[in-house]
Structure formats: structure tokens, C-alpha cells
Amino acid sequence: MKTLLKRIPTNTAGVFYKEIISKNNKVVDKVFLIRYTDANNKQRLKTIGKRSDGITEAYCKAKLSEITTRIKLGEDLPHIAKRKSKLTFDDLANKYFEDKSHTTKEAKKEQARYINHIQKDIGHCLPENITSDMLLKMQTAFRKKFSPRTTNHLIFLIGTIFKYANKKELYKGTSPTVALDGLKVDNKRENYLELSEIRELLQVTKEVSTELWLFVKLSLSTGGRIGTITELKKKDINLNTNTITLKDFKNTRTYKGYISDDELKNFLQERMKNLKANDYIILKRRYWIETQLRPILDELFNKELDADDRKNRIVIHSLRHTFASHLAINGTPILAIKTLMNHSSLDMTMRYAHLAPDAGYSQVVKLYK
């Protein structure tokens, strides 16, 4: 490849670019430059970087403005687009996922999201050359394909990688994601299973597969996420205290759950007789549970609902929502629900508060008597 000598002006005064051509004279890239007058009134020309590295006209305009402002104030000039290292954003992401894999099983999912939706746009860029304008364009593209929740998650993932790089001193600077506003999300699931629906689901799953029935029973007994339930081992269950040690792979914490009834306890007692300490309680893995249970939930509860109706469709995660909802309906204190759900903040639990029986009137009429 060859960089042509001719400087071509952009729409921004003081910002230029040179074309980079291939052997067959096809333009394959651009290299941006800025021109400014220094403190001694001399014209200076500075190469900023290539478009393929994420450099844009807007980025050059911002740097030019920064330089001219510093000259007016008599301050030292910054090193423009200085390469503190040769690490690309891809390099930072790979290091992040490698470290994350030791602490959570969600790392593989996150890495897949990065590869499928983020890598092609900014993976090749130096982190200091990634601008908020670039991310805003990505956010706009995401909105056309994904829900607001998924879009926010992808932008948040970029910010998380930047934070990790800062912490590990692989990159110095703020994340460009701070300039972006998250999209308003209103897709919290409102539906949960009524008692009659719970009985129906348990009956159907028992007829289809003991493993599906056991998964549903454990989910409704503990409120654990699907990964938490499918990863339960014999050593996690204490039949003497009716307790279950649950691993929250989302928050990387361990917390306590309970065996809800004698039917579940008796089944676990029989199954555990033939298991070793590290054997899984549910004999089928997560993928099998998902592929078998989803059609059953659709057949029983989702026939008249649109496929994108997140609020009302019953999905596997609805079992966790059902657990918390019935705790609230039965008057369980909100702080106890927070503990049983292993929520990281009370705000997450307060969504169930409206289901609690209203004891206000009965308490007020007892006053002063």
C-alpha cells in the first residue's frame, strides 16, 4: 500500500487527509492530519492516524480545538493519539474475558456477544481512538436490530472492558461510553404463574420427564436462575436442615435456599443415595432443559401472545419471578425476599412490593384502642 502526498481538505478547517491506495490504485484507507499555528506563529502539521484505526474527522476536530485552546492559555501541548501501547481494543477484550472466565460462567456468553456484535466495529481500533461518536453510531445500529435492554447491555459491555483496562493499567483514560445515555427500558416481566398454573406445569413436566419436573420444583422452591439450578450438586443439598447452597453465577455469590415441601425432599433423598458429592442433582444439562421446557411453556401459557411480548410471556426465568411473587403475596417481608432472591439492591426487590397484602388499614384501626 502507498500513501499519496496530496492533502485533501475535509469539511473542518484545519483537518486534512491523505489517501492510501493498494497496488491496483484503489483507495483502501485514509490517514488524517491537522494543521495549526503554534505559540511562535509558525504553521505546524501533525499526523493523527488512520481511519482503519478508528480516527475520524470529528476526533481530529476535537484534538485541533484542544491544541488551539492550550496554545492560547500557554499550556503544554498534549501528545496527540499517542500510542502508550500497541494493544487494540480486541487485546483488552481478550484479556478481560480470560480473567472473567475464572470467576463466572457468564463469560462465554459475554464473549460471544462481543464477537458477534462489537468486534467488527471497534475491535481493531486502539482504545484511545474510540470516540463517543463511534459508539453512538453503533448504538443506533443496535437499536434497529435489538431491544433497548440488549442495546444497553452491549454498550455497557464496552464500558466494562474499558474499566477493566483502566484497573489493570492497560489503558489510561475515561471510557467513551460515559457520554452516551442508556435507552429507556420498560420490559420487566409482569406475569407469573398462578397456583393452578403451577400445578398444571408440574403435572405436564412429570409426564414428559422426571428431570424437567425436578428442575421446575427446584426453581419454584428456591427462585434460582436456570444456571444455578442445573449446576446444583449433591454436596450443595443438606437434607437435615432442608437447605440448598445456591451459586449465583450472575453476581458470583453463594447464598442459601430451602427445600419447599416433603415431595421434593423425599425425591432428593432417593436420588442422592446413588450420587457422589460432586455429581449433579439434575441428570440433564442446561441446553436440554431449555430446549425441552420452552415448548411446554409456550403450549400451556403463550398461545395467544406475540413472540416479542416480554411483559406477559411465560419463559423459564418466569419461574424465578413466580417464586418472588408468591413470597410477596404470602406476606413475606421485603428484606427477606431480597435475601432469598440474592438481589444486589433493594430496588430490584421492590418490584414485588405491590403484591404484598395491604396491612395498612388493619393496623390503623387498631390504633389508640
Residue 287 forms part of a structural domain: yes
In a domain, 366, yes or no: no
User: Could you tell me if residue 42 is inside a domain?
Assistant: yes
Residue 237 sits in a domain of what CATH number? 1.10.443.10
Domain assignment present for residue 199? The answer is yes
82 inside domain? no
Q: Give domain status of residue 314, yes or no.
A: yes
Rounded Cα–Cα distance for residues 290 and 319 (Å): 13
Q: Kindly state whether residues 152 and 115 are assigned to the same domain.
A: yes
Choosing from 148, 179, 210, the residue where a domain stops is 179
Which phi-psi region, left, alpha or beta, contains residue 254 (left: φ > 0; alpha: ψ -120 to 50)? beta
Residue numbers of the domain that contains 232:
195-355
Question: What was the pLDDT predicted at 207?
Answer: 96
Instruction: Record the pTM.
Output: 0.55
Phi, psi of 131 (to 5 degrees): -110, 165
Nearest to 225 by CA among 209, 247, 205: 247
CATH of the domain at 161: 1.10.150.130
Residues 64 and 96 in one domain: no
Listed in sequence order, the residues at least 6 apart from 309 whose beta carbon sits closer than 8 Å to its beta carbon are none
Give pLDDT, residue 83.
Answer: 43
Both 209 and 329 in one domain: the answer is yes
242: left (phi over 0), alpha (psi -120 to 50) or beta: left
Looking at the fold, whether 217 and 159 belong to one and the same domain comes out as: no
Q: Does residue 46 belong to any structural domain of this protein?
A: yes
pLDDT at 185: 65
Q: 93 and 28: one domain?
A: no
Asked whether residue 275 falls in the same domain as residue 314, the answer is yes
Tell me if 369 is assigned to some domain. no
pLDDT of residue 361: 58
Query: What is the Cα–Cα distance from 201 to 184, expressed in whole angstroms?
Result: 34
Shared domain for 206 and 348, answered yes or no, is yes
Q: How many domains does the chain have?
A: 3
**Are 336 and 209 part of one and the same domain?**
yes
- Among 15, 43, 73, the domain boundary falls at 73
3-state per-residue secondary structure call for the chain = CEECCCCEECCCCCEEEEEEECCCCCEEEEEEEEEEECCCCCEEEEEEEEHHHCCCHHHHHHHHHHHHHHHHHCCCCCCCCCCCCCCCHHHHHHHHHHHHCCCCCCHHHHHHHHHHHCHHHHCCCCHHHCCHHHHHHHHHHHHHHCCHHHHHHHHHHHHHHHHHHHHCCCCCCCCHHHHCCCCCCCCCCCCCCCHHHHHHHHHHHHHHCHHHHHHHHHHHHHCCCHHHHHCCEHHHEECCCCEEEEEECCCCEEEEEECCCHHHHHHHHHHHCCCCCCCECCCCCHHHHHHHHHHHHHHHHCCCCCCCCCCCCCCCCHHHHHHHHHHHHCCCCHHHHHHHHCCCCHHHHHHHHHHCCCCHHHHHCCCCC
Q: Which of 337, 335, 334, 331 is nearest to 363 (CA)?
A: 331
In this structure, are 150 and 39 located in the same domain? no
Closest CA to 124 of 59, 21, 29, 52: 52
- Sequence-distant (≥ 6) Cβ neighbours of residue 8 within 8 angstroms: 16, 17, 18, 19
Domain boundary among 73, 101, 124: 73
Residues 165 and 251 in one domain: no
Do 135 and 11 have their domain in common? no
Q: Which residues of the chain have pLDDT under 50?
A: 80-84
Question: Does 67 lie in the same domain as 112?
Answer: no
